[in-house]
Copies of this chain bind each other. A is one copy, B any other.
Amino acid sequence: MTLPHARFSLNQATIKHASLGEAIGLCVEQGVASIGLWREPVAEAGLGRSVRLLRDSGLRFSSMCRGGFLTDPKDRSAALDENRRAIEETAALAAAGARGSAAVLVMVAGGIPEGSTIAEARARLEEGVAELAPEAEAAGVTLALEPLHPMYASDRAVLSTLGQALDIAERVGSPAVGAVVDAFHVWWDPDVAAQVRRAGAAGRIASYQACDWRTPLPADVLLSRHLPGGGVIDFAALTALVNESGYTGDVEVEVFNAELWAQPYGEALRETWQTFNAHVGVHLS
């Protein structure tokens, strides 16, 4: 019987409409060893119950999605507090996960607020990360800056490349700041090889995520992700780079796709790890 690759992790958003309990149950049932969680379903279950569900499951915890949204001057203090709560939750869940869990909080930058330039929004992001980094470090949590595809640069994430994330990490200068290598977001970058190597050399790859890019884009470009192998991304080349960089952690599949969300959760999960095995797992060292 084929099993999920040992380093495969289900990002919960891939079966978005399942509850935390359902998602964890399905992973256990199908032999998936790791899960990445989102704050909303964790809040719905309650943090205490989420911690117990995770501990009892024996699953590893691979990341918490998400912190960030640090670009708006109006909401600054509230955004920082929200990130502090996310850091605490990440630490609690990572401690509850099986050995090999990662206390990684994925950080989505936030977009350009009304009346700001992109440069101003980027500066605010960096200030926020610098303010949170010591607290994350004290909690043993890595703030994993996630560059998003440049098509989201205006309304979701002014952090657009891995190089930019690493520049921020270097300037902030904290070991608690890392970066996410999400294939969907970075595959097009002519500089991706150099930047994955740089991230590896600096010990800053906090997460590797795999989902595929295909055109035409759907009307809602947030839902334009596909399972590995469903698009044009060269997972052999990108995964080889990530191997070379020394990253040995779990690899999440995080797909936002209306058709996948409409499938029964168990089927969607099975298809997710099967395509992962075939297109990414085979290349993992």
**Chain A residues within 8 Å of B, Cβ to Cβ:** 112, 117-119, 122, 149-151, 153-155, 160-161, 163-164, 167, 187-191, 213-217, 219, 221, 231-232, 234, 237
Known: A149-B151, A150-B150, A154-B232. 17 other contacts (CB 8 A): A117-B234, A118-B187, A118-B232, A118-B234, A119-B237, A153-B187, A154-B188, A154-B213, A154-B214, A154-B215, A154-B231, A161-B190, A161-B191, A163-B191, A167-B190, A217-B221, A221-B221
What are the 4 closest A-B residue pairs judged by CB atoms, nearest first?
A153-B188, A164-B190, A151-B151, A150-B188
- Once bound together, how far apart are the Cα atoms of A40 and B171, in whole Å? 50
Q: Quick one: closest B residue to A186, CB to CB?
A: B150
Q: Quick one: closest B residue to A149, CB to CB?
A: B150
- Once bound together, how far apart are the Cα atoms of A112 and B189, in whole Å? 14
In the complex, 23 of the A-B residue pairs with CB atoms within 8 angstroms, ordered by the A residue number, are: A117-B234, A118-B188, A118-B232, A118-B234, A119-B234, A122-B190, A149-B151, A150-B151, A150-B188, A151-B217, A153-B188, A154-B188, A154-B213, A154-B214, A154-B215, A154-B231, A155-B216, A160-B188, A160-B190, A164-B190, A167-B190, A217-B221, A219-B219
- Once bound together, how far apart are the Cα atoms of A217 and B217, in whole Å? 10
Q: Quick one: closest B residue to A222, CB to CB?
A: B216
Q: Quick one: closest B residue to A161, CB to CB?
A: B190
Q: How close is A16's CB to chain B, nearest CB, in angstroms?
A: 20
- Once bound together, how far apart are the Cα atoms of A191 and B188, in whole Å? 15
Q: Quick one: closest B residue to A117, CB to CB?
A: B234
- Once bound together, how far apart are the Cα atoms of A216 and B234, in whole Å? 28
Q: How close is A165's CB to chain B, nearest CB, in angstroms?
A: 9
Highest count of chain B CB atoms <10 Å: which of A163, A234, A237: A234
Chain B residues with CB under 8 A of A117: 234, 237
Chain B residues with CB under 8 A of A149: 150-151
- Once bound together, how far apart are the Cα atoms of A51 and B149, in whole Å? 42
- Once bound together, how far apart are the Cα atoms of A164 and B188, in whole Å? 11
